[in-house]
């Protein structure tokens, strides 16, 4: 290759590298501007969506009070139901007596 052709090749490389660098800088700058706008939008959304912890705590306290009341009512119902049922010993004795009678009837027949 002659010196002129080498210079042309070098010039082409320099133009290519310069063009690629220019577009890279252009793309990165737009990207950075977009990120800046994205963070600004997110920060305004966060300030709009403040979470009211005091209200949440009050709500949870109300729920726990209601749950405790329900548990006490269930315990009262259990005690009432268990007191109205016949004693298990009496039921078992009656069942044992019936079973003995059935066995005796089968053995005799």
Alpha-carbon torsion angle 4, 8, 10, 15, nearest 10: 160
Whether the full predicted model's pTM is greater than 0.85, yes or no, is: no
Please check whether residue 109 lies inside any domain of the structure.
no
Q: What is the DSSP letter of 17?
A: H
Residue 106 domain-assigned (yes or no): no
Query: How many whole angstroms separate alpha carbon 82 and alpha carbon 80?
Result: 6
- Identify the band that residue 54 occupies on the pLDDT scale cut at 50, 70 and 90: confident
Report d(CA 34, CA 40) in Å as an integer. 10
Tell the residue number behind the tokens 């009656």, with chain if given.
94
Residue 89: inside a domain: no
CA distance 22 to 16: 10
| 46 assigned to some structural domain | yes
Rg of the chain taking only CA atoms, in angstroms:
44
Considering the domain boundaries, does residue 62 fall inside one? yes
Write the pLDDT tens digit of every residue in 37-52.
777 765 556 555 667 8
Task: Report DSSP letters for 86-106, one per residue.
Answer: PPHHHHHHHHHHHHHHHHHHH
How many domains does the chain divide into? 1
Domain containing 8 equals 3-84
- Percent over 90 (pLDDT), the chain: 32
Tell whether 24 is covered by a domain.
yes
User: Quick check: is 102 in a domain?
Assistant: no
The answer to whether residue 20 sits within a structural domain is yes
């Amino acid at each position: 290759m002659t010196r002129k052709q080498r210079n042309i090749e070098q010039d082409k490389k320099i133009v290519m590298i310069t063009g690629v660098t220019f577009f890279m800088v252009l793309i990165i700058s737009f990207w950075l501007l977009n990120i800046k706008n994205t963070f600004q939008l997110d920060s305004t959304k966060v300030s709009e969506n403040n979470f009211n912890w005091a209200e949440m705590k009050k709500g949870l306290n109300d729920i726990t009070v209601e749950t405790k009341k329900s548990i006490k009512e269930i315990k009262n119902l259990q005690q009432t139901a268990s007191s109205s049922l016949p004693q298990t010993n009496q039921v078992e004795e009656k069942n044992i007596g019936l079973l003995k009678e059935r066995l005796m009837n089968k053995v005799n027949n």
